[in-house]
Structure 1
Amino acid sequence: MARYRTRTATALAAASLLLTALCAGQAPAAAPSGRAGIDPATAEKLDDAITAAMREADIPGVGVGLWIDGERSYERAFGTADKAAGTPMKTDLFTRIGSVTKTFTVTGVLQLVDEGKVRLDAPISTYLDGVPGGDRITVRQLAEMRSGLYSYTEDESWLASYQADPHRSWTPQQLLDVAFKHPAEFRPGARWAYSNTNTVLLGLLVEKVSGRPLHTYLDQHVLEPAGLDDTSLATGSAMPDPYAHGYTNFTKDGTTTDASTWNPSWAWAAGAIISTMDDLRSWVPTLVNGRLPGGDRLLEPGTQAQRLRAVPTGYPDVGYGLGIADVDGWIGHNGELPGYETIAARLPQARATLVIVVNSDVDGKSGNLSSLIGNTVTKIVTPEHVWSLPVQAQPNAVPEPSPSSGG
């Protein structure tokens, strides 16, 4: 859940991975397959289905990894990472992961719960001042997306400002000021609704209680212990090399442009992390199992059990826990922000980890591109557990402006 479009009919078609190479008949870059449950015939079927979906949706580049028991069962890159240079997509490129970031931020909160410094059922006003109705909104409700707080990324004035200058730097407080201009959408706990405001508040909670900037806390307490050397919470606009360029039509005239170096500060704790497919492959089992690669605990068992206890979202086969989603048995998160879409999820009963990265968010008639690829892959390899998200349940990072707001 990590998207950034309005739910209105005026949206251009969008909080969860060429065509030149395909048309020229170039083969996709590939790692060895045919091991650990993915036979050559299935791998070929996946290749064909993914490239067909890319052609239909006009996706520049896609990376797909499916690992069973940690083995590289199927790992592929298709299409183009840099359209200007014609650089092919690869599986080792850095990418922006959007709302998959929420899994890291909420992990930081839950670690503080384990240390006795934060209580899940305490009001957020216990830790942070200035939250409207904060004496009635619990930390748990923020992590479960049940606070009722308006998402600043739905505000059309803010959206127009962001669109006019996507390189601008935003502070967390500026984002909250936008959100708090709006009344709550419902009373806390009454229902589920995706809001980036929730996770920005949780990022500030981590900073307040730990006494460290969020990026420093995550580096020291989550990323380093998990061995994620290529993952970081962005503190500026730059992307580390080598990276996949990301393409968006989130522009005033709707033309597609390279958004690789747009400033992600507007997403911060809710969506500003940069990572790689291989780091996500490692992170997802850690996230779902609650244990670090060496066997130490990421979270206490009771806290991990609460994290995975999904509440209904109102959409079939989609539940949401504490900063983590359950989509027909696939547990993890997806993400979307200008230029990039991601899925990072695990199907525990199959011991399978799925990572999908897409270097475009030009969803068009095909809908969310990463979910299109996720649906394509899982219909083949896990037909009883298919990744499928309704449009309304897609991650919502930045809504598309309506014509009245300058879009």
Structure 2
Amino acid sequence: MSPTSVRLRRAAMVALLTGTLVAPCTAGAAPASVPSAPAAGTPGPSPSGPDVRPLSPDVTRQLDASVRRVMREAKVPGVTVGIWTPGQRGYVRSFGVADKETGRRMTPDLYTRIGSETKTFTVTALLQLVDRGKVRLDDPIGRYVEGVPNGDRITLRQLAGMRSGLFNYSEDDDFFAALTSDPQRSFTPRQLLDYAFRHPVLFQPGQKFSYCNTNLILLGLVVEKESGQRLGDYLKQHILDPAGMKDTLLPKGSAFPTPHAQGYTDQTANGEVAETAGWNPSWGWAAGAMVSTLEDLRIWAPTVATGELPDGRRMISPATQRQRLVTPATPIPGAGYGLGIFDVQGWIGHNGSLPGYESLTIYLPATRTTLVVLLNTDIDHDDEEPSTLFGQAITEIISPRHVFDLPAAPAAR
């Protein structure tokens, strides 16, 4: 796949859940089986100085100006940014409008759809089942779900690490037509898998990195099968409630708590911009349907990056968390992907994107700094996702030794 015009016909939905960690299936990458692969977050030559600059009034003014510049250039209606480092002044700002028609302002308390950040929760659930002895990361997916191509060879680890070789259902033409013809339509996990499994595998398991939403649908089914609970119920009981994340959920259907921003997308059948707050995200399910808030994502960033709950209890055992954070290289320079989590120049976390909304939740262990960016559009600017533009602009100011630079790959979009 190449030009942006093509993605509107075939691959529009690839960008919705992938963030920008999509790689062409022909691109080479360090295989997951090579534990010595360098952590992609290890920066090369970089400016001297602290890992994170204190948020002085001058730095705050620079941030305000930079965020406004990106908004103007990328035509972003509204964005909220939160930055926190223990022992330092925090930064929480909202800019622009939540609704272009009414002029309602963007505010930090709004619910938002978080797209592929959902993957971090689904994989966390899987890793908890590993800790409980319910599953093993090197089990074949065929042990839990029937009918998976190469199901006797693809492991749960390869699914979580985006190295399965399965076809991404969101690239299927019929799926795209079904979704864009009726954005309120509900999809079941099995329907999503049917779109994927009609295609041959792209490569043998473990050979390379290829971002694929099909992987997470399968892992969601594993969590349900081995826990005996619906995925949303499991996440609430075992992850969200223990972390104190009272405003995060995997909704049923198109449920969207209020207040929330209106979303704006050009990921439509005709390429025209549409409002998306009422669209049904069920097609993303375990790969991208969750809803959250700025404050909850502030909690989640260090929790998922360390495996430790805010009260000091373990969410994931240290041994399992270490496996999660092995991030073999991807075809994107400076970016590695572990088990449902990335490392970009030392920032650990995930981004998310689906029609009308983008998010970025990342954590810098060196200084325990959290950065969260939430916006109400997914419309690219010069083949770059706006959440990446914000992430880069902000980190160039606050952490010049660790600049979040996750370039879009138009050939993979």
Q: Find out whether 1:360 has 2:377 as its counterpart.
A: yes
Tell me the CA shift for residue 73 of structure 1.
1.3
1:235 aligned to 2:252? yes
Q: For the residues of structure 2 that align with 1:89 and 1:57, how far apart are their CA atoms? A: 17
Decide which moves more: 174-183 or 249-258: 249-258
244, 248, 254: which is aligned to 2:261? Answer: 244
Q: Which residue of 2 aligns with 1:48?
A: 65
- Assess, with a 3 A threshold, how the Cα gap between structure 1 residues 71 and 129 changes in structure 2: closer, same or farther: farther
Q: Does 1:306 align with 2:323?
A: yes
Alpha-carbon offset, residue 51 of structure 1? 0.3
Name the TM-score, length of structure 2 as normaliser: 0.87
- TM-score, normalising length: structure 1: 0.89
Contact 1:291 1:297 in 2 (8 A): yes
CA contact (8 A) 1:315 1:393 kept: no
Give 2:77's match in structure 1, choosing from 36, 60, 71: 60
Question: Do residues 290 (structure 1) and 318 (structure 2) align?
Answer: no
Matched, 1:112 2:129: yes
Which consecutive unaligned segments of at least 5 residues does structure 2 have?
20-52
The residue aligned with 1:154 is: 171
Selected match of 2:138 from 121, 134, 137: 121
What is the CA–CA distance in structure 2 between the aligned matches of 1:299 and 1:381, rounded to whole Å?
30
Aligned AA for 1:310?
T
> Aligned partners of 1:86, 1:282: CA distance in 2, in Å?
30
Aligned mates of 2:186, 2:136 — CA distance in 1: 32
**Which amino acid counterpart does residue 304 of structure 1 have in structure 2?**
Q
Aligned amino acid, residue 254 of structure 2: S
User: How far apart, in 2, do the equivalents of 1:234 and 1:70 lie?
Assistant: 35
1:199 is displaced (CA, Å) by 0.4
How many pairs does the alignment contain?
A: 373
Matches of residues 170-209 of structure 1 in structure 2 within 5 Å? 170-209=187-226
Task: Name stretches of at least 5 consecutive residues in structure 1 with no aligned partner.
Answer: 1-5, 17-35, 400-407
Q: What secondary structure does 1:87 align onto?
A: coil
Q: Which residue of 1 aligns with 2:344?
A: 327
Counterpart amino acid of residue 64 in structure 1: V
Which residue among 370, 379, 387 is the counterpart of 2:404?
387
Say whether the 8 Å CA contact 1:37–1:73 is kept in structure 2.
no
Identify the structure with the greater strand proportion.
1
Deviation at 1:254, TM superposition (A): 2.1
Give the counterpart letter for 2:263 in structure 1. G
- Name the SS of the counterpart of 1:162 in structure 2: helix
| Cα distance in structure 1, aligned partners of 2:152 and 2:89 | 48
**Mapped partners of 1:162, 1:9: distance in 2:** 19
Q: Partner amino acid for 1:105?
A: T
Aligned in 2, Cα 1:372/1:299: closer, same or farther, shift over 3 Å?
same
Q: Is the 8 A contact 1:64 1:77 kept in 2?
A: yes
Provide closer, same or farther for how the CA distance between residues 362 and 282 of structure 1 changes in structure 2, counting only shifts above 3 A.
same
Q: Percent identity?
A: 53
Q: Name the CA shift for 1:366/1:147 in 2 (closer, same or farther; >3 Å).
A: closer
Compared CA separation, residues 222 and 393, structure 1 to 2 (3 A): farther
Query: Paired residue for 1:94?
Result: 111
* Partner AA of 2:60 in structure 1: A
The alignment partner of 2:329 has SS state of strand
Q: Tell me the residue number matched to 1:317.
A: 334
Q: Cα gap change, 1:66/1:344 in structure 2, threshold over 3 Å: closer, same or farther?
A: same
Residue of structure 2 in register with 1:350 after alignment: 367
